[in-house]
Amino acid sequence: MKPATDPPTILFDGVCSLCGGWVRFVLAHESDREPRVRFAALQSEPGAALARVHGIDPERLDSIVFVADGVAWQHSDAVMQMLRHLRAPWRWGRIGRILPRGFRDWCYRLVARNRYRLFGKTDTCMVPTSELRSRFLL
């Protein structure tokens, strides 16, 4: 298990346009009060290795993963955990935790199953700018 002192990390499908958009959204709306989030595509070796450390098959790209404090969150729980790292009003989306997890995950999986059709897919993983390179595990 990764030490709890590691910065929180988002593992995402690097060719998914929705996932890449979420990464850009987090970068644009991060809170200054929370630790800076790192990012890794599940298709990258560091991303795949971190997924495997937490018992997640990096070949299954059905969920974004949020790793923080030694715990790997998936599906709607990952989104709820990520929201706490954003500025208001975005962090207030955590109110969604009052909904039953089964319902939240059903909604999450519905979007996840259709994300390529709805939002598109790229041929290659997202490449960070030189200013953001240190935030990505490459």
Tokens of residue 31, six digits: 């809170």
DSSP string, 121-133: B-SS-----TTTG
Mean pLDDT on 10-32: 92
For the chain, give the mean pLDDT: 90
pLDDT digits (tens, 9 = 90+) for 117-132: 999 998 877 677 777 8
Helix (H, G, I), strand (E, B) or coil at 53: helix
Condensed to tens digits (0 to 9), the pLDDT of residues 41-92 reads 999 999 999 999 999 999 988 899 999 999 999 999 999 999 999 999 999 9
Query: What SS3 state is found at 39?
Result: strand
Q: How confident is the model at residue 5 (pLDDT cuts 50, 70, 90)?
A: low
**pLDDT at residue number 137:** 86
C-alpha span between 7 and 94 (Å, rounded): 20
136: exposed, middle or buried (C-beta count within 10 Å: 0-12, 13-18, 19+)? buried
Write down the pTM of the prediction: 0.88
